[in-house]
């Protein structure tokens, strides 16, 4: 059964259609990744699943319940989490306060405290920095905080927009390890990434978006193995370097 199923999505902003006829599905405990060149509509697609971009047509189902018209807060209530690409932490709040902001639908302080402890076990780096202002965190710590804040609402599906951006390979690998832990707890992850090779290596299933349309979807390792797609659209050659015709 798919936990999240978005069918034939046409989405954008105001009168502009950016994403055209895209279908994305995720199963429980599965990581699916949406990759593609800059400006291809990846963020717009993920925002449309969370009620943040204009949906012109298409249907969205969450655990077989139609949520096409759901607002972001209704989506959170149902079990969707979203971590935006930019400005995804409250820089003037501490790590602990950011986590508490993530629990805004939870009224019981005892449960919030327990949830924070659970998060600190999952992200020991954040426990060490719990009293630090988010603006003083490293890039990797910030991304972990953004993910951890979303986890405070106990999402069963997590939408992540480029959590590896600007991270060193070592820190990116650490964040990926945490994403695998989250997946192994049964949470589905929809991951938008520019770091194509890392994302496809981690993911079970992949979608390649080019100029708003999905031009390829399938098992992530098949996309990695497809030399033409890699060379033309992902800028990867066999050695993992960048091909001449790469868009990004």
**Binding site residues, ligand ATP, CB under 6 A:** 13, 18, 36, 38-44, 85, 194
d(CA 51, CA 47): 6
In the complex, the smallest distance separating the C-beta of residue 179 from Mg ion, rounded to whole angstroms, is 18
In the complex, the smallest distance separating the C-beta of residue 8 from ligand ATP, rounded to whole angstroms, is 18
- The interface with Mg ion within residues 57-96 (CB under 5 A) comprises 85
In the complex, the smallest distance separating the C-beta of residue 164 from ligand ATP, rounded to whole angstroms, is 12
199-221 core/surface letters (b: 16 or more CB in 10 A; e: else): bbebbbbbbbbbebebebbeebe
In the complex, the smallest distance separating the C-beta of residue 46 from ligand ATP, rounded to whole angstroms, is 8
Residue 150: closest CA among 74, 80, 73, 92:
80
User: Considering beta carbons, is residue 103 or 147 the nearer one to ligand ATP?
Assistant: 147
Binding mask 16-55 for Mg ion (x = CB under 5 A): --------------------------xx------------
DSSP, residue by residue, 183-244: HHTT-EEEEE-S-HHHHHHH-SEEEEEETTEEEEEEEHHHHHH-HHHIIIII---TTSS--T
User: Considering beta carbons, is residue 44 or 217 the nearer one to ligand ATP?
Assistant: 44
């Amino acid at each position: 059964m798919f936990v999240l199923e978005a069918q034939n999505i046409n989405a954008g902003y105001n009168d502009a259609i950016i994403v055209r006829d895209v279908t994305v599905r995720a199963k429980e405990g599965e990581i699916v990744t949406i990759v593609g060149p800059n400006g291809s509509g990846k963020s717009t697609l993920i925002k449309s699943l969370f009620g943040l971009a204009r949906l012109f047509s298409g249907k969205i189902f969450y655990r077989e319940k139609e949520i096409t018209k759901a607002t972001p807060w209704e989506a959170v209530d149902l079990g969707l989490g979203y971590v935006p690409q930019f400005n995804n932490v409250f820089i003037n709040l501490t790590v602990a306060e950011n986590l508490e902001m993530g629990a805004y639908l939870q009224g019981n302080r005892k449960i919030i405290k327990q949830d924070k402890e659970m998060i600190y076990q999952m992200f020991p780096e954040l426990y060490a920095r719990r009293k630090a202002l988010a603006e003083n965190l490293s890039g990797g710590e910030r991304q972990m905080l953004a993910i951890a804040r979303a986890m405070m609402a106990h999402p069963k599906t997590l939408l992540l927009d480029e959590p590896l951006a600007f991270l060193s390979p070592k820190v990116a690998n650490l964040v990926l390890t945490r994403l695998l832990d989250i997946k192994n707890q049964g949470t589905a992850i929809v991951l938008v990434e520019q770091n194509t090779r890392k994302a496809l290596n981690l993911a079970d299933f992949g979608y390649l978006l080019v100029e708003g349309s999905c031009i390829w979807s399938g098992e992530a390792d098949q996309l990695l193995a497809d030399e033409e797609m890699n060379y033309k659209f992902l800028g990867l050659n066999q050695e993992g370097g960048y091909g001449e015709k790469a868009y990004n």
